[in-house]
Homo-oligomer: A and B are copies of this chain.
């Protein structure tokens, strides 16, 4: 058998799959943060283009991928499906392990899939400039890449601590022509207010979101882009699962278990959703969402309406959350540090379709190093969580010839500093204590 299952450009899916009409008991709508009433496209239109809002609310199962978007995706897509034969051997398991390699994108992760689509719809509606926030830098570099393809300006509010510690991400965004500023910045009211009060703050994703939103809301030529959580992002990521279905068929295999890491939820949902119709028709598939024990929104959070940011400026989303003022501990190296979770993933956890598990970071880095030594590719810290999930499944019973499919969301070449911290013994496991979570949960908005 071939180690890699590849598809030609002309075999790339021409439609995205929208899981929302297939979710048992459906999704609850986003609420206006002021009125607490369902929020329609008219108000959201201040920061998002209509093309994306239509997708956000759509109940169509399949939505055409515009040709211009297809053309750019073909720079790296379809991505390879790989049989992790060397990892299987090292584990001594009879399980077959497949992974979908999203690390082949120009920016090294799946984030580019949605960035290209978002840049396209903004361009189509005459938007001249996009703002966004970035923490680890994956999304910021993906949007910088995508906007460069459509001739849109891009301003990235990058969390100060990342801005200082991840110079390569900054250089990538520079190369694609984006403007990058450390957040909090002197460029927004929110930023100025926080800088006046805490001049030495390392910043946070919550602050950066607020700055990017304020920038977009106050300029007519500018809209805002988000890299995960929302339905339209999950829709764009469905291309991962759609390609995987074709490729698994070519491999003559069918997954018993599908695994992904969960931060905002888009990479896991992108892989998992296209398999949901099979599941609903009776196929036995176990979906496992792997989250860090230090930020356990699915395993220890609550399904409730909550804000997407600390500043309480976003619409209220119905999702698993640890509370919008939850601050994940700094000892955790990877991404996946978001207090909430995609409403789509949340609903599928509620319906017991997805089984969430939490893992500790040291076991994840160990899994990542084993993967690098066996399959050759160094995974991003986030992706190490998915690999750890796959190893757990593959070693439960070494004689069980089950088929495991996981999403390799990105490579780690631009995040080697995390590995250095791991080697230096500077990373530690952390279980978020229930009483701490209870505190941030107490501040959930009253609906």
Contact = CB atoms under 8 A, between A and B. Distances in A.
Interface of A: 2-4, 6, 8-10, 71-72, 74-76, 82, 86, 104, 106, 108, 145, 148-149, 167-168, 171-172, 174-177, 369, 372-373, 375-378, 413-414, 416-417, 419-420, 423
A324 to B, nearest CB: 34
Nearest to A74: B3
Contacts of A149: 86, 373, 376
A174 B423 contact: yes
Contact of A413 (B4, B168, B369, B375): B168
A106 B376 contact: yes
A3 B71 CA distance: 8
A172 B416 contact: yes
Contact of A375 (B75, B177, B375, B419): B75
Interface centre among A10, A148, A372, A423 (most CB of B within 10 A): A372
Contacts of A167: 416-417, 420
B3 A6 contact: no
Nearest to A146: B376
B104 A171 contact: no
Contact of A75 (B72, B377, B419): B377
A2 B6 contact: no
A376 to B, nearest CB: 4
A74 B108 CA distance: 19
A67 to B, nearest CB: 12
A377 B420 CA distance: 26
